[in-house]
Amino acid sequence: MEDFSVDEVLGRLRTGRMGALVTFVGSVRDISGGKSVDRIEIQVYEEMARKQLEAIREEAMERFGVEEIAIIHRHGSLRVSENIMLIAVGANHRPEAFDACRFVLERIKERVPIWKKEITTDGEFWVEGEHFEPL
Amino acid sequence: MRLKLRYFASIRELVGVAEGEMELPEGSTVDDMLETVKKHHGRLRDVDRILVAVNGDYVYPGTRLANGDVVALFPPVSGG
């Protein structure tokens, strides 16, 4: 999946009502659990991921009263230092922008069906997230 | 009833296929389905953390399944 441009996404998101734009960018790290990472493979259950991301976005918009939220998550093969994910939140003021961004990030890590496999010098390993009770 | 099964990440590697189909008696639950899957794919018996989604939503173990449901089995997620 093609890389995204943070500026381009912010350009589409921004309106005059926003005094605060908060972004989170996830990036491929070179070391994981003491192993040297060459690249990562991201697998996604696309239909469900889209459904869950839309639900998370709507919940965050309502809960924090922010103006707009954009979420992009790449999949496929990504090299060290490449972008993995972007969350961009536009709000009237900074507190709700930061809060909504953090909320979306934690929810994604908990429940959106996306998995990372790290291709390291010591072999290939699926990264497994924290177990959670989805309901 | 007939279910469509989808497997992801480490679970997909353990069962060796990405998709499958299953025939279950009417009124079967998510737990019944899991038991049957583990019978077919013995390597899943040692996996204690399997998340289950039906038609893109997380479900309870006791949720009843319906003909044509798309059931996904996968490990805890690691996106972000």
Cβ separation of B75 and A127 shorter than 8 Å? no
Superfamily of domain B2-58: Beta-grasp domain (3.10.20.30)
Which of A108, A126, A134 minimises the CB distance to B58?
A134
Model pLDDT, residue A130: 82
Cβ separation of A105 and B80 shorter than 8 Å? yes
The rounded mean pLDDT for chain B is 96
Identify whether the C-beta of residue A84 lies closer than 8 Å to the C-beta of residue A95: no
Which of A26, A84, A113 minimises the CB distance to B77?
A113
What SS3 class is residue A104? helix
Contacts of residue B13 in chain A, CB cutoff 8 Å?
A: 126
Question: What's the pLDDT band for B35 if we cut at 50, 70, 90?
Answer: very high
What SS3 class is residue A86? strand
User: How far, CA to CA in Å, does B22 sit from each of A104, B19, B70?
Assistant: 35, 10, 10
The pTM of the full predicted model, rounded to 2 decimals, is 0.95
Model pLDDT, residue A21: 98
Q: Is the domain A6-126 a CATH 3.40.1010.10 member?
A: no
Write down the domain spans for chain B.
Answer: 2-58
| Secondary structure (H, E, C), A20-82 | EEEEEEEECCCEECCEEEEEEEEEECHHHHHHHHHHHHHHHHHHHCCCEEEEEECCEEEECCC
Which of A26, A111, A135 minimises the CB distance to B77?
A111
Mean pLDDT in consecutive groups of 10 residues from the start of chain A, 135 residues: 95 98 97 93 98 98 98 98 98 98 97 97 92 75
User: Nearest-CA neighbor of B5 among B24, B25, B26, B19?
Assistant: B19
Identify whether the C-beta of residue A22 lies closer than 8 Å to the C-beta of residue A101: yes
pLDDT in tens, B36-58: 999 999 999 999 899 999 999 99
Instruction: Tell me the two tokens of residue A6.
Output: 């943070």
Write down the domain spans for chain A.
Answer: 6-126
ipTM of this complex = 0.94
